[in-house]
């Protein structure tokens, strides 16, 4: 399997490490941001696509009125299984679903949301067309994507540490996929290709990523994402070595104690 094919494989221990290490490190702050944006809207039925292990789902279930129904989907069943194990404050309808072929009728939801999932869609315009199809009119599609890797410091330092470790064939998952869909013009074109006639509002949101030690982001990125698949494909037994290399680089850049790095993303809102 190629590196690009591996980019969408979240299996084995990845979902658990993703939830315990990566979610509090980088996803939780943006989940709260998305909740506040939705609170300002009169939504009653929400569809979440690419829900992962449910960080946004939990925020919505806790922060929105009980009358707001939530359907949370993901292509990867292991991620949904982890989300269900973690649980939500109130009932959520969990569904395995492909964002490019949603199993819902036209106009079934008044909001479709997606946090850091659009980068993984093989055909982004097709996925956006599906989001538009299942939206009522008026309705809102809201999603977030990471900005370029240079504006996301732990991811950038980890990638450069692995580039030094594998100079002839560096694992570039983080730059290629999570941080590979940050161009605002490309996002706007794909939304138009998906049938949205209005212009999106794209807001760049900068936050801080904090951890008690450099080991936490090193494990989060090297073991709790599909970057792990790339590392393991380059030789058995080198995952620990790669994680240690990332930890050393993060500690060298941010200090030996608690670490604090910049994270940055685009939040996209478009009306139907």
Dist CA 246 CA 87 (whole Å): 31
What pLDDT does 11 receive?
67
Cβ atoms of 81 and 15 within 8 Å: the answer is yes
List, for residues 18-42, the tens digit of each pLDDT value: 999 999 999 999 999 999 999 989 9
List, for residues 76-107, the tens digit of each pLDDT value: 999 999 999 999 999 999 999 999 999 999 99
The residues spanned by each domain of the chain are 3-271
Both tokens of residue 56? 């946004």
> Hey, which CATH number is domain 3-271, 3.40.50.300, 3.60.10.10, 3.40.50.150, 3.40.47.10?
3.40.50.150
pLDDT higher than 50, residue 1:
no
pLDDT higher than 90, residue 8:
no
pLDDT higher than 60, residue 123:
yes
Rounded to two decimals, the pTM is: 0.95
List, for residues 153-200, the tens digit of each pLDDT value: 999 999 999 999 999 999 999 999 999 999 999 999 999 999 999 999
Angle between helices 184-193 and 124-133 (to 10 degrees): 50
pLDDT higher than 80, residue 216:
yes
Computed over every residue of the chain, the mean pLDDT equals: 95
Query: How many other C-beta atoms lie within 10 A of the C-beta of residue 126?
Result: 16
C-alpha 7: how far from chain center:
12
pLDDT higher than 90, residue 221:
yes
Average pLDDT over residues 126-155: 98
Average pLDDT over residues 116-138: 97
């Amino acid at each position: 399997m190629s590196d690009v094919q591996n980019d969408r494989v979240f299996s084995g221990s990845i979902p658990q490490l993703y939830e315990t290490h990566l979610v509090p490190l980088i996803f939780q702050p943006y989940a709260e941001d998305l909740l506040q944006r939705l609170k300002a809207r009169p939504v009653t039925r929400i569809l979440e696509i690419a829900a992962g292990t449910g960080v946004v789902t939990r925020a919505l279930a806790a922060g929105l009125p009980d009358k707001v129904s939530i359907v949370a989907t993901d292509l990867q069943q292991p991620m949904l299984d982890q989300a269900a194990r973690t649980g939500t404050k109130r009932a959520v309808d969990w569904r395995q679903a492909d964002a490019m072929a949603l199993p819902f009728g036209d106009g079934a939801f008044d909001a479709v949301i997606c946090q850091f999932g659009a980068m993984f869609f093989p055909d982004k315009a097709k996925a956006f067309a599906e989001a538009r199809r299942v939206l009522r009119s008026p309705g809102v599609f809201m999603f977030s994507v990471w900005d370029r890797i240079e504006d996301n410091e732990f991811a950038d330092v980890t990638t450069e540490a692995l580039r030094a470790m594998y100079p002839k064939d560096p694992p570039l998952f983080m730059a290629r996929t999570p941080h590979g869909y940050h161009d605002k013009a490309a996002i706007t074109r794909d939304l138009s290709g998906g049938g949205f006639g209005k212009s999106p509002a794209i807001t760049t949101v900068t936050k801080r990523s904090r951890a008690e030690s450099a080991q936490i982001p090193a494990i989060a990125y090297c073991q709790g994402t599909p970057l792990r698949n790339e590392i393991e494909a380059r030789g058995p037994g080198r995952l620990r070595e790669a994680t240690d290399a990332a930890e050393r680089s993060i500690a060298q850049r941010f200090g030996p104690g608690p670490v604090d790095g910049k994270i940055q993303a685009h939040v996209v809102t478009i009306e139907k």
